[in-house]
């Protein structure tokens, strides 16, 4: 049977024409709802960052596009070897990306490419396994970290401005950890840069 739009038995009727004001109001309402949904995600859960420079080569390259997980560190503490985005201690308006090597209340010693960590579980220290670095450095130094400090370094040691030069990063400067690499398409990756050796505590 052919259906007519004017046949009341079919339960349909012609939609009334919308006014310009109604259309604008609908778009405005949609925009407000979208902001209500998106903004908390953008501010408190995840946000995009673009890698700038070569300090994390070969793990990350210049212009890599990342989504950073901001929620995890609100629920649990950062771990050793996490790749994090944080506010640069000398200028909080800038963001850096590095890898956590030493945790709060630990001592870290650097002797060239050898990094040793001292903590309550390892009074005599243990040497970090670092398969992610490109080349060794010639540094020789040590740092004692306080309750809320993290020692961070770039994977490309000889081309990285990091805790060796301006000290540890306070917990309140941490933004989050690298969660997804979206660009370049050829390197799309979940939890890029992740490394979890057995002896990482």
Which domains occur in the chain, in start order?
Answer: 49-190 (2.10.109.10)
Tens-place pLDDT, residues 59-77: 999 999 998 998 889 889 9
Which of 90, 98, 107, 200 is an active site residue? 98
Q: Is 137 a catalytic residue?
A: no
Q: Please count the residues of the chain.
A: 201
- Structure confidence at residue 83 (pLDDT): 96
Residues of the chain above pLDDT 70, percent = 77
> Chain-wide mean pLDDT for the chain?
83
Q: Is 107 a catalytic residue?
A: no
Res. 106 pLDDT band, cuts 50 70 90: very high
Q: What is the DSSP letter of 157?
A: G
CA atoms within 13 A of residue 169's CA, in its CB half-sphere = 31
- Structure confidence at residue 119 (pLDDT): 96
Tens-place pLDDT, residues 77-90: 999 999 999 999 99
Task: Please state the φ and ψ torsions of residue 4, each to the nearest 5 degrees.
Answer: -105, 140
Which of 55, 137, 160, 163 is an active site residue? 55
Ranked by mean pLDDT, which of 7-16, 131-140, 190-199 comes out on top? Answer: 131-140
Give the separation between CA 82 and CA 177, rounded to whole angstroms. 7
- Structure confidence at residue 112 (pLDDT): 87
Res. 28 pLDDT band, cuts 50 70 90: low
Q: How far is CA 5 from CA 17, 18, 73, in A?
A: 16, 19, 58
């Amino acid at each position: 049977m052919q259906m007519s739009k004017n046949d009341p038995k079919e339960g349909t009727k012609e939609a009334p024409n919308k006014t310009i004001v109604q259309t604008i109001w609908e778009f405005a309402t949609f925009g407000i709802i979208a902001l209500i949904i998106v903004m908390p995600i953008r501010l408190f859960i995840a946000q995009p960052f673009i890698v700038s420079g070569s300090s994390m080569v070969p793990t990350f390259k210049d212009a890599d596009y990342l989504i950073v997980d901001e929620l995890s560190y609100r629920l649990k503490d950062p771990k050793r070897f996490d790749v994090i985005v944080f506010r640069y201690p000398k200028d909080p308006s800038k963001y850096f990306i590095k890898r956590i090597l030493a945790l709060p209340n630990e001592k870290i010693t650097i002797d060239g490419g050898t990094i040793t960590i001292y903590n309550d579980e390892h009074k005599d220290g243990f040497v970090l396994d670092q398969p992610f670095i490109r080349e060794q450095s010639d540094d020789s130094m040590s740092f004692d970290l306080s309750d809320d400090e993290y020692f961070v370094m770039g994977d490309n040691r000889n081309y990285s401005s990091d805790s060796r030069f301006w000290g540890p990063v306070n917990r309140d400067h941490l933004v989050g950890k690298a969660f997804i690499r979206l660009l370049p398409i050829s390197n799309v990756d979940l939890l890029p840069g992740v490394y979890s050796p057995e002896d990482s505590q």
